[in-house]
Structure 1
Amino acid sequence: MTEVLFYHLQNMTLESVLPPLLEKSLERGWRVVVQSTSPERAEALDAHLWTYSDDSFLPHATWRVGDAQDQPIILSIEEGNPNRANVRFLVDNAALPADCDSYERLVLVFNGDDPDAVAAARESWTACKARGFEVTYWQADERGRWQRRQ
């Protein structure tokens, strides 16, 4: 069964949160697709993942590369699973893909300071519950550590 995690960003940016979450995914041996909503955003995330840390490396590529199937992390703006990912991150209000149930885990990261993002996350939560997925809600504590909330 697909597990869906909702990460509520408040007082933090996607750029600060995404790299550690991707690192944890790779540590678990998972392949990942990160879906955003525009080519510009995907390119910005691509640039950020190359430079976010001097002592860490996240092997990744965009959906445009010819060897996407060989990449552990693909940044995309469209549905599809070019690298046979186990996990799909949905950012910037990216919609749930039609093939949700083909993933072990979906991670929906939304901006809690954006009313449209909160509304979209609520709709996705309802849709995931209706499909029988296991859904959990995560929020960072005052030290920035993710805590599961009820």
Structure 2
Amino acid sequence: MGAAYFYHLTTQPLERVLPMLLGKAREVGWRIEVRGVDGARMQALDAALWLGPEEGFLPHGLDGGPHDADQPVLLTMGEGAANAPTCVMSVDGAAVSPEEVQAMERVCVIFDGHDGAALQQARDQWKALTQAGCPAQYWSQESGRWEMKAEAGG
């Protein structure tokens, strides 16, 4: 069974944090679905990933291409990514289920700490997942570096 990790962005935008998280996930060999809710936003993330990170290229694709199943990182707007992910990274409030947490190595919920609606949605997701018995960790970057602030057992 996997776990849900919640990443509360307060000092860096998603465009800076996502490549770091994707790089860490790729280091352990995971295939990743980055799940969003807005097509234009996913296209912008795709473009940002093509530009960096400085330390190396992150192979990825935007859902709907001819090679989706081969992509180690696939940006989507729905469940059931063609690349058979072992990790889902939810951005902008994209839904994740307790069943997904249980089936994946990791589910990451990444949310903007300066957006009240995003904060509330992350709280609701935390409550739903932990009440369903999913292990979860809450990470914040308030101090300027990532620190685990809360943990719920499975």
Residue of structure 2 in register with 1:64 after alignment: 64
Residue of structure 2 in register with 1:111 after alignment: 112
In structure 1, how many angstroms separate the alpha carbons of the residues matched to 2:124 and 2:29?
30
In structure 2, how many angstroms separate the alpha carbons of the residues matched to 1:115 and 1:43?
24
Alpha-carbon RMSD across the aligned residues, in angstroms, is 1.4
Q: Give the 3-state SS of the residue equivalent to 1:88 in structure 2.
A: strand
Q: What TM-score do you get using the length of structure 1 for normalisation? A: 0.93
In structure 2, how many angstroms separate the alpha carbons of the residues matched to 1:12 and 1:134?
26
Paired residue type of 1:79:
E
Q: Give the 3-state SS of the residue equivalent to 1:65 in structure 2.
A: coil
Deviating above 6 A after TM superposition, structure 1's stretches of 4 or more consecutive aligned residues are none
Residue of structure 2 in register with 1:135 after alignment: 136
1:68-107 residue pairs with structure 2 within 5 A?
Answer: 68-97=68-97, 99-100=99-100, 101-107=102-108
Residue of structure 1 in register with 2:22 after alignment: 22
- Where structure 1 has 5 or more consecutive residues not aligned to the other structure, the ranges are none
Instruction: Give the deviation of 1:78 after TM superposition.
Output: 1.1
1:7-46 residue pairs with structure 2 within 5 A?
Answer: 7-46=7-46
Instruction: Give the deviation of 1:93 after TM superposition.
Output: 1.1
Deviations 1:58-92 (A, max 9, x none): 00001111221111000001111311111000001
In structure 2, how many angstroms separate the alpha carbons of the residues matched to 1:11 and 1:55?
21
Say whether the 8 Å CA contact 1:79–1:97 is kept in structure 2.
no
Q: Give the 3-state SS of the residue equivalent to 1:94 in structure 2.
A: coil
Say whether the 8 Å CA contact 2:98–2:132 is kept in structure 1.
no
Instruction: Give the deviation of 1:138 after TM superposition.
Output: 0.2
Instruction: Give the deviation of 1:99 after TM superposition.
Output: 4.5
Q: What TM-score do you get using the length of structure 2 for normalisation? A: 0.91
Paired residue type of 1:118:
L
In structure 1, how many angstroms separate the alpha carbons of the residues matched to 2:148 and 2:61?
30
Paired residue type of 2:13:
T
In structure 1, how many angstroms separate the alpha carbons of the residues matched to 2:48 and 2:121?
25
Q: Give the 3-state SS of the residue equivalent to 2:114 in structure 1.
A: coil
Instruction: Give the deviation of 1:98 after TM superposition.
Output: 7.3
In structure 2, how many angstroms separate the alpha carbons of the residues matched to 1:71 and 1:59?
7
Paired residue type of 1:26:
R
Paired residue type of 1:47:
A
In structure 1, how many angstroms separate the alpha carbons of the residues matched to 2:92 and 2:51?
20
Q: Give the 3-state SS of the residue equivalent to 1:42 in structure 2.
A: helix
Paired residue type of 2:8:
H
